[in-house]
Amino acid sequence: MNKNREFGYQAWLQPGPKLDFPGFQPAGEKGFAYDELVRGLHRIGCRDIDTMINLALCEDIGPQAYKITGSIDGITIRGGDERGLLYGVYGFLSRLRRGQTSFDIFDKPAASRRILNHWDNITGRIERGYSGKSLFFKDGQIGYDLERLKDYARLLASIGINEISFNNVNVCSESAKLITDYLPDTKRIAEIFRPFGIKIIVAIHFESPVLMGGLSTADPLDPDVAEWWAKTAANVYKEIPDLAGFVVKADSEFRAGPMSLGRTQADGANLIARAVKPHGGMCYWRCFVYNCMQDWRDTETDRPKAAYDYFYPLDGHFDDNVMLQIKHGPSDFQVREPNSPLLGAMEKTPQMLELQVTQEYTGQQKDLYALAVQWEEIFDHPITDIIATRDLIGDKIDAVVAVANAGDDSNWTGHLLAQANTYAFGRMAWDPSLTALQVIEEWAELTFANYPKAIRPIIEMVLESRGVYEKYNAPLGIGWMVNISHHYGPSVDGYEYMKWGTYHRADTKAIGVDRTTAGTGYTAQYHPYVQAMYENKETCPEEILLYFHRLPYDYKLRSGQTLLQYIYDTHFEGVEDVEGFIATWESLKEDLPEEAYTSVKERLQMQLANAKEWRDVVNSYFYRKTGIADAKGRKIYE
Amino acid sequence: MNKNREFGYQAWLQPGPKLDFPGFQPAGEKGFAYDELVRGLHRIGCRDIDTMINLALCEDIGPQAYKITGSIDGITIRGGDERGLLYGVYGFLSRLRRGQTSFDIFDKPAASRRILNHWDNITGRIERGYSGKSLFFKDGQIGYDLERLKDYARLLASIGINEISFNNVNVCSESAKLITDYLPDTKRIAEIFRPFGIKIIVAIHFESPVLMGGLSTADPLDPDVAEWWAKTAANVYKEIPDLAGFVVKADSEFRAGPMSLGRTQADGANLIARAVKPHGGMCYWRCFVYNCMQDWRDTETDRPKAAYDYFYPLDGHFDDNVMLQIKHGPSDFQVREPNSPLLGAMEKTPQMLELQVTQEYTGQQKDLYALAVQWEEIFDHPITDIIATRDLIGDKIDAVVAVANAGDDSNWTGHLLAQANTYAFGRMAWDPSLTALQVIEEWAELTFANYPKAIRPIIEMVLESRGVYEKYNAPLGIGWMVNISHHYGPSVDGYEYMKWGTYHRADTKAIGVDRTTAGTGYTAQYHPYVQAMYENKETCPEEILLYFHRLPYDYKLRSGQTLLQYIYDTHFEGVEDVEGFIATWESLKEDLPEEAYTSVKERLQMQLANAKEWRDVVNSYFYRKTGIADAKGRKIYE
């Protein structure tokens, strides 16, 4: 691989020289931001000395914030701190690349913490990774390409990411040692990312005091356990003083945690929080806690209720350097979910919004899927009648985190266009008021700057992609219906009789689980305004109807279609839409670099096969279950 | 583990001294049979010198055959050869243990070859193994407990097994080396089993000439390939002159083979056969060849037709030292299948009947399942109006082979009572005219000789177990409906939309695939007599009705039940029957060694949970699909 030549490797930091600008002369504050400016100008082909660009630190602006002022006659970039200056440089370069020449800009991140969690195993395999092997680990130890890791850090910093964890939250006994035996390796990673303003988080194993400390328990109320954590954290901070903190997955999917020891989630989180507190560190505590051994016959237990039930009563019991990491939806990164009722519900506990950039249930970087579109909806989701989730970002929700989608594939994300998701995550965590259209435009203009004819069709295709994927997948928010374990492709009953608490309960007449107060009572976890909206079939947004209501197949949707006919129609349409994507893409053959054209075309063909499989399996499933044919007489396999 | 003390470890070779016989004095032909006689008499507690037992070789009796004559006044055991003499000794000891004191017996095996195939991986894991790790391999190499392996050999020899393969037919690149780099190891295994009259077979990798020979192809018609095999076989036979031969799984489930190189199955089999021919070796060529990439939408392709379609036209094209290894049914070791139409169909090609002792689809040694009952039916299965499959054993079908069920669990088979399956396989391969009742009686009388009160209840329970398991599993021969990959527990649609060619196509009105000449035409592969029987719903044995016919749920069975009500009834009954097993077993608590009582009870509890899961999933599935309630108003989960 000649990295510097490969289109995909450059992502949204494509080289020039295609710009019609004069050159610039950097000046002022020397340091990493300065170096990055020089490098960036060089990259986009502005080499002559014409315009002065002055870099300056200016505390008044505030941390991480920046100002850019001036024009072709002279430009000033001011940063509230070093990170702010760096973001100012990247923000300037990005705007310049997109043709802006006059600046009067103040920008600052909404959320203080914009985090990527890598689910990289120490073996080098990435859990839920669809773009090659780990960038951080190889064969059971830290192992990386230094230049590549710096390039990755630059990509992340350029979109405002300021913290990353690099080991899987499913910590194994080997990766648990990243804070003990392998601490020198962890330190090396921290050093690589530090200049880019990116702090390191380590995912820790809750049972570390037993695994590594020789203690007989990991009980959070045991003084020896607390002491072990305090001593271990002190060691870590001695080597990595700016470590952001620890992230913990506990009491989740067969992992041990405080509950398995008879303690509360607060006991567990505070244990870790107190260990890192003296060093300014955080405890990021995941709320993905539910009964994963449910009996499918049990219709009382309702998995979406779990996180709220476990955590809401503990509000006020968490130390101030605990942040609760809450998945955006109450299920698990499905194509369509309501927001978690826990988001915004707790008055006294800082919260983090957890998204997923890696496309576990959303096409696995074979199928095109614009997460930005979904995230815009998530930010829009009401907390009350007057507050949207977006309004809490930077306030109660001062961190936005996502599971990363990058691996060692030459283009980072497997599907070239999945780079749009990485890009959008950084940008929308920085500024949740950005629309999907805005960030996808930004991304496409940067990535395809040298291929201008392709930009508009690609923007349209990417923006459409979430809706298309949803059409051929599980209908109306019902979720799952995927092949077990690997989560790609359809299996309508795949999880139906399993222990994971994910049931559609389709029979010959109806489908869905009643989650209203007449049913499992899940809706009661929301603010009354939101509850009322979801409670009523008439006011419930139709695209999520089957998340909340059990409905007969002949239920009439607002379009006049029956529920069943809607399922058939959308599944036929989904395939046609993918065929449309392929036609669009083929029309761009001459307008794109060959490598990009070919690799995306291959993925689109895989997506078409997947869409057809979904169409036929879902349609056959419901036809076999209802005996009702498609009103339009299209082919459904018997 | 104190092997010599453990009840389970002794299996059907339990020690005395509980016999009420005088002692014996062995005499005559010295050798391994003599030693085994002394050892056996010692084991069952006959130590005094009273009765002379004379051992003699006598060629006229024929190979592997034996005669036992005489009584308490003096006994003669004659063997047609050394193996015959050894079988005579074991036969004598077995009968003596069961109380016989007067003998006038001539016995000889029906099938010359009675074979176990171990699916043991070189890692030590056993594919489809449910009783621990491999007895032959450990951590990527040959690794065994010598004394234990001898004890295993004795168990096998005592029931007449005379050939074994010990590496998985899914040969990997490491285990492929058992005939090259690791030949000294293979030789050691052969030496351990040789005294017991058991010859070794090696499972080979069809692409060995490429993997290990440095050739560019494994094409069976390439002279270099033939030469590589000839040379390699000569090397093997130099070290192991009595090697039985090679077993080959080719062109099957993603494994390479002659078809993938544009050649026929005969080309492939003859290649291997010619390499071993000069040394008296055999090529055992598996016929488990089918399209495992079928599209579920394709209703023309019918997997059960595959083996016949591929192999029948090649009759006459195989060398005389090729034997075709044919699974008993056209599917894959399901709880109920018709016999393969290939069995007995070929006039010129020696055939092997392949059974499965390991309980892949039949309860995985958690659930009790008497394979003998099923095998009796398989032997009964008609080839024509006047010939049963049993009649061909020792004639066209001169080998009976099974996938082994033993591992390094202390009782060999995980479930103690699964020893009955190992025992029954040896005995029924030796004498297919034995009924399941006869062999289970023999086994129980030998195994529980010291616990006589338990014998009769155990015999009844074991004999009943196949029917019970069938009740709560896939109904009326439809097969599958299991969880994918691991094959334990129910998933009615688990394989329904997959590529394996195993579909029930249940819809709201009907279930099954029409395999008559009006449907896929599968029935036409049988002799006209058998075809006519299966072709017609009225004459098709009802227990296999859904293998051949697609039927509406309201189809009336001979009992007057509808098909649907039959499904409900059997699934409720299956659970009740398992509860009955538990009650029976608990009544034996005082009559059994504690270890045996406890371990079987644990398994029965697992079986009960499994039976309930099958009952509820299958009943709910069909209730949800039909909307028709149980006529008896029992609980079906909605």
Chain A residues within an 8 Å CB radius of B621:
493
The CA-CA-CA angle for residues B124, B364, B344, to 5°, reads 95
Q: Which residues of A are catalytic?
A: 253, 332, 360
DSSP string across A531-546: HHHHHSTTTS-GGGHH
Region class of A332: left (phi > 0), else alpha (psi between -120 and 50), else beta: beta
Q: Answer yes or no: do B623 and A507 touch at CB < 8 A.
A: yes
A100 pLDDT higher than 80: yes
Q: pLDDT per residue over A296-306, tens digit each?
A: 999 999 999 99
Binary contact (A626, B492; C-beta < 8 A): no
**What pLDDT score does A22 carry?**
54
Q: Quick check: helix, strand or coil at residue B321?
A: coil
Residue B18 above 60 pLDDT? Answer: no
Q: Which residues pair with A117 in a beta bridge?
A: A165, A403
pLDDT band at B250 (very low <50, low <70, confident <90, very high): very high
Task: Provide the β-strand partners of residue B450.
Answer: none
Flag the least confident range among B4-8, B92-96, B416-420, B456-460. Answer: B4-8
Q: Is residue A638 pLDDT above 60, yes or no?
A: yes
Per-residue pLDDT of B475-526, as tens digits, reads 999 999 999 999 999 999 999 999 999 999 999 999 999 999 999 999 999 9
Chain A residue closest to B612 (CA)?
A: A297
Give the mean pLDDT of B129-157: 97
Q: Are B132 and B407 in contact (CB under 8 A)?
A: yes
Asked whether the beta carbons of B407 and B9 are under 8 A apart, the reply is: no
Number of H helices, E strands in chain A: 18, 17
Chain A residues close to B506, C-beta within 8 Å = 624
Using 50, 70 and 90 to split pLDDT, how confident is the model at A26?
Answer: confident
Nearest to B508 among A484, A616, A626 (CB): A626
Percent pLDDT > 90 in chain B is 92
CA B623, CA B49: separation in Å to the nearest integer?
A: 70
> For residues B296 and A137, what is the distance between their CA atoms, to the nearest angstrom?
40
| A393 beta partners | A397
A616 interaction partners in chain B (CB closer than 8 Å)? 297
Across residues B299-316, what is the average pLDDT? Answer: 96
Per DSSP, the residues of B239-308 read: H-TT--EEEE--SSTT---GGGGT--HHHHHHHHHHHHGGGT-EEEEE-----TT--TT--S--GGGHHH
B contact set with A (CB within 8 A): 296-297, 484, 490-493, 497, 505-509, 613, 616-617, 620-621, 623-627, 637-638
Query: Percentage of residues in chain A with pLDDT exceeding 90?
Result: 92
Whether B347 is a known active-site residue: answer no
SS3 assignment, position B347: coil
State whether residue A198 is helix, strand or coil: coil
Residues ≥6 apart with Cβ < 8 Å to A625: A506, A507, A508, B507, B508, B624, B625
Q: How far apart are CA B359 and CA B405, in angstroms?
A: 7
Burial group, residue A354, by CB count within 10 angstroms (0-12, 13-18, 19+): buried
Chain B interface test: which of A492, A507, A575 (most B C-beta within 10 Å):
A507
pLDDT at B19: 53
Question: Of A70-84, A352-366, B365-379, which range is least confident?
Answer: A70-84
For residue B383, how far is the Cα from the chain centroid? 20
Q: Which of chain A's residues have a Cβ under 8 Å away from the Cβ of B613?
A: 497
Which chain B residue has the Cα nearest residue A618?
Answer: B497
Nearest CA in chain A to B628: A508
* pLDDT band at A1; cut points 50, 70, 90: very low
* Residue A430, pLDDT above cutoff 80: yes
For residue B210 the two structure tokens come to 């490429």
Looking at the complex, report in whole angstroms how far the Cα of residue A299 sits from the nearest Cα belonging to chain B: 10
Mutate: best of B298, B301, B493, partner A, most A CBs <10 A: B493
Give the span between the Cα atoms of B21 and B31, in whole angstroms. 25
Query: b/e per residue, B389-427, with b = 16+ CB within 10 A?
Result: bbbbbbebbbbbbbbbbbbbbbbbbbbbbbbbbbbbbbb
CA distance A543 to B247: 57
Task: With beta carbons under 8 A apart, name residues in chain B contacting A509.
Answer: 627
Report the residue from B491, B493, B638 with minimal CB separation from A507: B638
Question: Containing H/E element for A190?
Answer: helix A183-193
Query: Distance of alpha carbon A504 from its chain centroid, rounded?
Result: 26
Please name which of B555, B577, B550 lies closest in space to residue B566, comparing C-alpha atoms.
B555
Does position B462 have pLDDT exceeding 70, yes or no? yes
Q: Which residues have C-beta within 8 Å of that of residue A388, sequence separation ≥ 6?
A: A379, A380, A381, A382
- For residue A407, give the amino acid letter: G
Q: State pLDDT tens for residues B557-573.
A: 999 999 999 999 999 99
Q: Which two tokens stand for residue A598?
A: 């070919």
Q: Which two tokens stand for residue B304?
A: 């059960």
Contact at 8 Å (CB) between B456 and B321? Answer: no
Nearest CB to A625 within list B296, B625, B637:
B625
What's the pLDDT tens digit per position in A455-512?
A: 999 999 999 999 999 999 999 999 999 999 999 999 999 999 999 999 999 999 999 9
Contact B492 A493 (CB under 8 A): yes
Q: Is the pLDDT of residue B244 over 90?
A: yes
Rounded to a whole number of angstroms, the distance from the CA of B545 to the nearest CA of chain A is 21
Residues facing A388 on adjacent strands = A382
Of A611, A628, A470, the residue nearest A554 (C-alpha): A628
The token pair at A392 is: 């809490």
Mutate: best of B624, B626, B638, partner A, most A CBs <10 A: B624
pLDDT per position as a tens digit, B397-419: 999 999 999 999 999 999 999 99
CA distance B334 to chain A (A): 22
| Residue of chain B whose Cα is closest to the Cα of A626 | B508
CB contact under 8 A, B507 and A637: no
What's the DSSP call for residue B169? S
Catalytic one of B360, B367, B391, B535: B360
Cβ–Cβ below 8 Å for A493 and B497 = no
A638 with B507: Cβ contact below 8 A:
yes
Question: For residue B544, what pLDDT is reported?
Answer: 98
Subunit contact B491:A493, Cβ cutoff 8 A: yes
A497, A508, A637 ranked by CB distance to B617: nearest: A497
Task: Write down the residue that tokens 């299209």 correspond to.
Answer: A634
Question: What distance in Å separates residue B470's CA from the closest CA in chain A?
Answer: 20
Q: What is the largest CA-CA distance in chain A?
A: 75
Q: Which of A486, A493, A495, A621 to mutate to probe the B interface, most B CBs <10 Å?
A: A493
Q: Report the distance separating Cα A263 and Cα A283, nearest Å.
A: 17
Joined together, the tokens standing for residue B272 give 């291997």
Please compute the mean of the pLDDT values over residues A411-430 and round it to a whole number: 98
Q: Do A617 and B497 touch (CB under 8 A)?
A: yes
Predicted confidence band at A173 (pLDDT cuts at 50, 70, 90)?
very high
In this prediction, residue B91 carries a pLDDT of: 98
Contacts of A172 (CB under 8 A, 6+ apart): A121, A122, A205
Is residue A583 pLDDT above 60, yes or no? yes
Q: Which residues contact B618 (CB under 8 A, 6 or more apart)?
A: B472, B474, B475, B481, B490, B492, B567, B571
- For the cut 50, the answer to whether the pLDDT of residue A3 exceeds it is no
**B22 pLDDT tier (thresholds 50, 70, 90):** low
| Residue B328 phi, psi (nearest 5) | -60, -35
Contacts of B495 in chain A (CB under 8 A): none
User: How far is B291 from chain A, CA to nearest CA, in Å?
Assistant: 19
Closest CA to B445 of B430, B457, B455, B437: B455
Nearest by Cα to A176 from A127, A249, A105: A249
State the pLDDT at residue B2.
46
Interface contact A507-B625, CB threshold 8 A: yes
Amino acid at B540: C
Identify whether the C-beta of residue B447 lies closer than 8 Å to the C-beta of residue B398.
Answer: no
Residue of A nearest to B618 (CA): A497
Of A613, A624, A626, the CB nearest to B506: A624
The residues of A whose Cβ lies within 8 A of any Cβ of B are 296-297, 484, 490-493, 497, 505-509, 613, 616-617, 620-621, 623-627, 637-638
Residue appearing with tokens 């590496």: B167
Please tell me which residue in B59, B191, B253, B586 is annotated as part of the active site.
B253
- What is the per-residue pLDDT across A225-271, written as a single tens digit (0 to 9) for each? 999 999 999 999 999 999 999 999 999 888 889 999 999 999 999 99
Rounded CA separation B82/B29 (Å):
10
Closest residue of chain B to A627, computed from CA coordinates: B508
Closest CA to A236 of A196, A184, A165, A173: A184
In angstroms, the separation between the Cα of residue B558 and the nearest Cα of chain A is 27
CA distance, residue B624 to nearest chain A CA (Å)? 4
Diameter of chain B measured on Cα atoms: 75
B508 to A616: CB separation less than 8 angstroms, yes or no:
no
What pLDDT shows up at residue A5?
61
Using CB atoms, pick whichever of B491, B507, B638 lies closest to residue A497.
Answer: B491
CA dihedral A312, A314, A317, A320 (to 10 degrees): -30
**Is the pLDDT score of A18 beyond 60?**
no
**Residue A613: closest C-alpha in chain B:** B497
**Cross-chain Cβ contact A508/B508 below 8 Å:** yes
Number of alpha carbons in the 13 Å side-chain half-sphere of residue B359? 28
H/E stretch holding B77 reads strand B74-79
Residues in chain B closer than 8 A to A508 (CB atoms): 508, 624-627
For the record, the structure tokens of A421 come out as 């998701």
pLDDT in tens, A344-365: 999 999 999 999 999 999 999 9
How far is Cα B41 from Cα A445, in angstroms, rounded to an integer? 90
Q: Is the pLDDT of residue A20 over 80?
A: no
The answer for residues whose C-beta is within 8 angstroms of residue A416's C-beta and 6 or more apart is A8, A596, A599, A600, A603
- E strand or H helix at B468: helix B452-472
d(CA B220, CA B258): 7
Shortest Cα distance from A627 to chain B (angstroms)? 6
User: Nearest Cα to A328, choosing from A360, A375, A281?
Assistant: A375
The alpha-carbon radius of gyration of chain B (Å, integer) is 25
Backbone dihedral angles phi then psi of residue B68, each to the nearest 5 degrees: -130, 125
Place of tokens 């990798």: B205
Question: Span B127-154, mean pLDDT?
Answer: 97
A246 pairs with which residues across the strands? Answer: A202, A283
**Shortest CA distance to B431 belongs to which of B371, B375, B369?**
B375
Cβ-based contacts of A300 with chain B (< 8 Å): none
**Could you give the CA distance from residue A448 to residue A458 in angstroms, rounded to a whole number?**
9
